[in-house]
Each structure stands twice: as C-alpha cells, then as structure tokens.
C-alpha cells in the first residue's frame, strides 16, 4: 500500500486543455514535493511546498498544499506538448521521502 | 559540477551474483538515498543516509546493503541478486529536508536473469 496515492494514473489530453493531478494521503507530511520525470532520466524537482494551505505558481503550473498537510494538487493551465511526462509527488516524514506512483501525462498537439 | 553521478548505467546480472551500484556527488549534500523504480509503483526508498557514517533502512531494504564512509559516496550493494531486484535504481541527494528538493542521478537499469 502506497503512503501517497496519486490520481489519475494516466491522462491524455489535447494541447490547450487544463488538468489537475491529485496526491492524497492519510498521513501528515513536513513538506511535499512535485517532480517531473522523462523517459530514461531521473525525476527533476518542480516545487516544494511546506506550509499548510500554501499555493505556489510556476508559470502555467499551480501547486497547492492541503491545509492539514496531507494532500496536494498540481494544476496545469493550457497544457502544451512539452508538459508530457511522468509527474510524481513525494512527502517528507522525518528524513524519509515517500513517493506516489505517478501520473503519466500525454499532451497531444 | 557533475551533480549526482551513477555508474553503471546498465547492468545484467545472473541470479546469485553480487555487485555494487556506485553513486557520487560533488554538491556537499549531507543527505543521500537510494530508490528503486518499478512500473506502477513509483519510487520506493531502499536505504538512506543523513551524513557520513550514518545509514538507515527505507521501505524495501531486504537484499541490499549500504555504507557511507565519505560525504561524497554512497554505494549500494546487492549481495545475491534475485530476479525481483530487476528495476531502475536512482540515487538522490538533498541539502536538507524542506530545502530545494532532491537532486537525482540518471539511474542504473539492472536486469537479473
């Protein structure tokens, strides 16, 4: 059983559409991170959220940490083919980082 | 700066063989960890270290050993490889929790036949 559940597992959308990816847990985390991974490479950090209720924006990407620090969401506005990849959330509990199983996003031109 | 360097990139082992996956970093990060990535499972923590001389187990430590004699190096040893250890292995480093996040190596793809 994964400590962090991500949904959806797969998402295939047209360029220009909006989407939201969810990362949920019953556990509290000190911080939560989002990564993007491309085939054959290691994950690359997108953002770290630390405070409950925190919202961070990175161009067309908006990240939110739940008030209780148990969940997070990633919203992409006007998706582009360059957004294609595997999106992973990871939560920090006392030096142990737990990853969700990922959301595979495909943005079609 | 090379960041996090993992070697080898690919490896095929026979069941029962042993090997060491190397991980080296030049960022002076105290925190290092090893993950394995399997389809549909995300990344699972094998072992981690919060500094030289200190290691601890993660979620899936069985069949793996680690040591941390220097800040720069964190090798992962497979003592007797099993087909269930076929996976992609990532080494990752962190300056400190709640900081800018992990820096990952490019991975080692291991197949055990």
Q: What share of chain B is helix, strand, coil (3-state, %, to 5)?
A: 5, 50, 45
> B78-108, pLDDT tens digit by residue?
999 999 999 999 999 987 766 667 899 999 9
CB-CB neighbours of B99 under 10 Å: 13
Put simply, whether B42 touches A (Cβ < 8 Å) is yes
To the nearest whole Å, the CA of B43 is away from the closest chain A CA by 6
Give the number of beta-carbon pairs within 8 Å between A and B.
67
> A33-77, pLDDT tens digit by residue?
999 999 889 999 999 998 999 999 999 999 999 999 999 999 999
CA A71 to chain centre: 10
Q: Are A3 and A98 spatial neighbours (Cβ–Cβ below 8 Å)?
A: yes
Token output for B65: 């050993």
Question: Phi and psi (nearest 5°) for A82?
Answer: -70, -10
Residue in A25, A40, A44 with CA at minimum distance from that of residue A101: A25
pLDDT greater at residue B48 or residue A92: B48
- Interface residues on A facing B, Cβ-Cβ cutoff 8 A: 2, 4, 6, 9, 30-31, 33, 35, 40-45, 48, 50, 88, 90, 92, 95-102
């Amino acid at each position: 059983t994964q400590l962090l559940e991500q949904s959806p597992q797969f998402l295939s959308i047209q360029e220009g559409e909006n989407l939201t990816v969810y990362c949920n847990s019953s556990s509290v985390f000190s911080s939560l991170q989002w990564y993007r991974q491309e085939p054959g490479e290691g994950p690359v950090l997108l953002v770290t959220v630390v405070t409950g209720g925190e919202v961070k924006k990175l161009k067309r990407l908006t990240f939110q940490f739940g008030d209780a620090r148990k969940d997070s969401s990633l919203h992409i506005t006007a998706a582009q083919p360059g957004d294609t990849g595997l999106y992973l959330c990871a939560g920090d509990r006392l030096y142990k980082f737990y990853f969700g199983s990922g959301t595979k996003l495909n943005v079609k031109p | 700066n090379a960041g996090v360097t993992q070697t080898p990139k690919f490896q095929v082992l026979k069941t029962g063989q042993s090997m060491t996956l190397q991980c080296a970093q030049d960022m002076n990060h105290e925190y290092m960890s090893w993950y394995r990535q399997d389809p549909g499972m995300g990344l699972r923590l094998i072992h981690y270290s919060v500094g030289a001389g200190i290691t601890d187990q993660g979620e899936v430590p069985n069949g793996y050993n680690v040591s941390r004699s220097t800040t720069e190096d964190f090798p992962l040893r497979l003592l007797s490889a099993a087909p269930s250890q076929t996976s992609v292995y990532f080494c990752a480093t962190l300056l400190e929790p709640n900081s800018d996040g992990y820096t990952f190596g490019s991975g080692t793809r291991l197949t055990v036949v």
